[in-house]
Amino acid sequence: MKSDIPPKYPVRQGVSKIKIKWSETLRYAGPYPKKSKQFFRMETLQRALEKKLEEKDYFLYRSFKEGLDGKTPDSLAVDLVYENKSRLIFSLLAGSRQGKRTSLYLMMAKNHEEFSAALEQEYAAFQAPGMSGHNGFIPVLRQGLIYLPDRHQRRDINRELFAWLFRLPGEWAPLYVASSTQWGPRGSEVRRFTVQETEKIKCELIRHLAAAYDPDQFEGVTPRLLSSDDLWVKKNKDRSFSLAIASCRRLDKKLRPGQFVASLLFGSFGEGQHRLPLAPARPEHFRDALMKALPADHAAALLAAFFRQRSLHEKKLSPELKQLLPGADYLDALEACLHP
């Protein structure tokens, strides 16, 4: 696997002067944590990251220094906050002797094979014009490779884990599906957003996905490419919600406008026995979310494209999903919203 990062700085001899504290709180793993396979010892990763800092590498060291306004990092707290079967997420808090602080997240693949390839594909998707710079998607600061040495010193083992850094200031948490009508923030305790709060989050997600859709290239992000833990939420002081998409598998290609709207209307998220539909309960809220993301004529054109082939889109739904997702009355009311 190749990386586009510049060459490393010259290796400096001696022990790194950065004081590093390691922890594994897994504070976003709950409320129903799942065991997943480990592909390497955490001590091996710790040594690898410490070595990169000793070498003043471009990926980690330069990112910390930029966040510290050019000051040299003096301390670093590394905390494993979340994991699933394919990736690890660490919070990184760096400080300087001058009292500067900067916080980042490190998203890293769990192995050097299929999970690194998948994460690299996600990184490429985040560079697409509709996603790069859009405030609904996390700002990816830098990508790189983390080399894990083989403890048996076997020459044929060359483990390079793909990773990227991102920043999300404030108190954010990834989501989980708490019920068919509620999302909840992942954490050490069982918490749920109210139905009304969940509706607001749904509309925020629809708005972000609509704003990132490219109707000329027929490509965008659809709910089927997202999991609930790809969505990070922050509750603001005014009781509104900010939502950021922290990862997505890839871009959906050859996605016609009607197909894109169908993906939003009939998309859903699953967790255990629960499945949460994306479409808000009231059709006018769905329309309003599109109108907030796009010029009114563009939003109307998207909806019109869906309704021209409405029956075709409805036929693709399984009987099980038809019981959960918007039905004929909902779609009739949504179409009526276009012609008040």
Give one DSSP letter per residue of 185-247, joined into a string: E-SSS-----HHHHHHHHHHHHHHHHHH-BTTTTBB--GGG--GGGEEEEE-TTS-EEEEE--
Instruction: Determine the Cα–Cα distance for residues 105 and 184; give it in Å rounded to an integer.
Output: 21
Length of the chain: 340
pLDDT score of 127: 81
pLDDT score of 2: 43
How much is the pTM?
0.87
Segments in the chain below pLDDT 70: 1-16, 130, 132-133, 150-158, 320-321, 340
Instruction: Determine the Cα–Cα distance for residues 233 and 192; give it in Å rounded to an integer.
Output: 12
Structure-block tokens of residue 323: 């019981």
pLDDT in tens, 200-214: 999 999 999 999 999
pLDDT score of 133: 64
In 3D space, the residue among 185, 255, 181 whose CA is nearest the CA of residue 214 turns out to be 255
pLDDT score of 91: 95
pLDDT score of 159: 83
pLDDT score of 15: 40
pLDDT score of 315: 82
pLDDT score of 4: 45
Q: Hey, is 166 helix, strand or coil?
A: strand
pLDDT score of 3: 44
pLDDT score of 132: 66
pLDDT score of 148: 87
Q: What are phi and psi of 54, to 5 degrees?
A: -60, -35
pLDDT score of 205: 96
Surface-to-core class of residue 38, CB atoms within 10 Å of its CB (0-12 exposed, 13-18 middle, 19+ buried): exposed
3-state helix, strand, coil split of the chain in percent (to 5) is 30, 25, 45
